[in-house]
Amino acid sequence: MKKIFMMLVVAGIFVGCVPSMKGVISKSSNKPSETSQTSDIIVQKVDKDDVRDIIRQEKMLAPDATDSELSFTAVGEGIAPMNTVSSAQALALAKRAAITDAYRQLASKLYGVKVNGKDTVKDAMLRSSTITAQVNGLIKNASIIDESFNQGLYRINLELKIDADKWKELFAY
C-alpha cells in the first residue's frame, strides 16, 4: 500500500497535479481517494502517454529550452596487454581498448543494458550462478575530446552531440 501511495504521489508531482504534501491519504479507509485534507492532494492515474506528453510539452529532456543540441559523454579506459612487441604496440592497443570501452559506455547510456541471469540449483544447493550483461547499439559521429596515457592506463573522453529533437524522436519514452 505504501509503495502504491508513493508511486501515485510521485506521478502526481511529475504531472504537476499535487500542489503540496500537507494532506496524507487515509490508511483507515478502503477508499484511496479519501484524504485527511481533501483540498491538498489530488490523486490521478497516469499512463505512459500522459508522461510522454508532459515531457514533450515541458521540454524536460533538453537542459535548456533554447538548446537544440544534447551532449553525452563517456570515459573509456584501456590497459596494454603484457605480451606486446614494443611500447608503440602497447600504446596503440591500450588506446583501442579505451575507445571501445568509451563507445560501450555511450551505447549503454543511450540504449540501456540487457542483463540475463541464470542460477542452477541441485539438491537444494546452488551449483552455479551466471550473470551476463549485453549492450547493443549504433554510435555514429562521436568524437574524442580528451585522451591521456599514464602508467599503462589509456583514458579517453568521448563526446556524442545529437540534435535534441532527433534524440527525443529516437530515445525518449
pLDDT digits (tens, 9 = 90+) for 50-94: 777 776 666 555 444 446 888 899 999 999 888 999 989 999 999
Predicted structure pTM score: 0.55
Q: What is the pLDDT of residue 33?
A: 46
Q: What is the pLDDT of residue 28?
A: 42
Place of cell 546452488: 126
- Please count the other Cβ atoms lying within 10 Å of the Cβ belonging to residue 108: 17
Decide if 94 contacts 80 (C-beta within 8 A): yes
- Which residues on neighbouring strands pair with residue 35, listed in sequence order? 25
**pLDDT at 58 (0 to 100):** 60
- Domain locations in the chain as residue ranges: 2-46, 69-171
- Residue 53 has what pLDDT? 73
Check residue 19 and give its pLDDT: 40
Tell me how far apart the alpha carbons of residues 18 and 31 are, in angstroms, rounded to a whole number.
Answer: 19
Q: What is the pLDDT at residue 167?
A: 78
In angstroms, the CA 2 to CA 32 distance is: 12
Q: Dig out the grid coordinates for 76 from the structure.
A: 573509456
Q: What is the pLDDT of residue 112?
A: 86
What is the pLDDT, as a whole number, of residue 50? 73
Q: Which pLDDT belongs to residue 57? A: 67
Residues of the chain falling short of pLDDT 70: 1-46, 55-67, 172-173
